[in-house]
Homo-oligomer: A and B are copies of this chain.
Amino acid sequence: MTDSKPNASLTAPSIHGDALPPVEQHAQQYATVRNAHETELIEDYVELIGDLLTHRGEARAADIANRMAVSQATVSKMIRRLNELELVTSKPYRSLFLTEAGQKMAETSRARHDIVLHFLRALGVKDATARIDAEGMEHHVSDETLDIMQRFTEQQQKS
């Protein structure tokens, strides 16, 4: 085994800067992040497709490519994946649509995204910055934290 030097504070929920967390916990932190990364892009695509359908009535590959700042080829490939995952339906050269599962994912993502964005604005972050941060943060915020953020925002708005 490794990690066998000082045995102090293997359990204390102390501040991170003080001591290393126990191996298993530490490992789980990284594993969770790695995991989030796998679904992140998928969720972003589905969320964006949902938004385009809502606000534009259709979701074309070219729009997605523009808004994601990515080549059309990349989008095309990704759509194939989304299809295999049964999140979207698409006929070649036609607009995309979300399946049931896709719609559910889009709503969830949209909701998370909005909670984080509103929270950041309530905290006092400038709009442009809040948007960028929210885009990055949304996939890494637990339900627990999300809940707290939402309550915080509501609280703020009352005053």
- B-binding residues in A (CB < 8 A): 2-3, 5-6, 13, 15-17, 19-21, 23, 25-33, 36-37, 44, 51-52, 55-57, 60, 62-63, 66-70, 110, 113-114, 117-118, 120, 123-137, 139-142, 144-145, 148-149, 152
Contacts and interface: CB of A to CB of B under 8 A. Distances in A.
Given A67-B27, A124-B148, A137-B141, A55 B113 contact: no
Given A20-B52, A131-B29, A136 B140 contact: yes
28 contacts: A3-B56, A5-B56, A13-B127, A16-B131, A16-B134, A17-B114, A20-B56, A20-B67, A23-B66, A23-B67, A25-B128, A25-B131, A26-B67, A27-B67, A28-B132, A29-B132, A30-B68, A32-B132, A32-B135, A33-B135, A120-B145, A125-B145, A125-B148, A126-B144, A129-B142, A136-B137, A136-B140, A137-B141
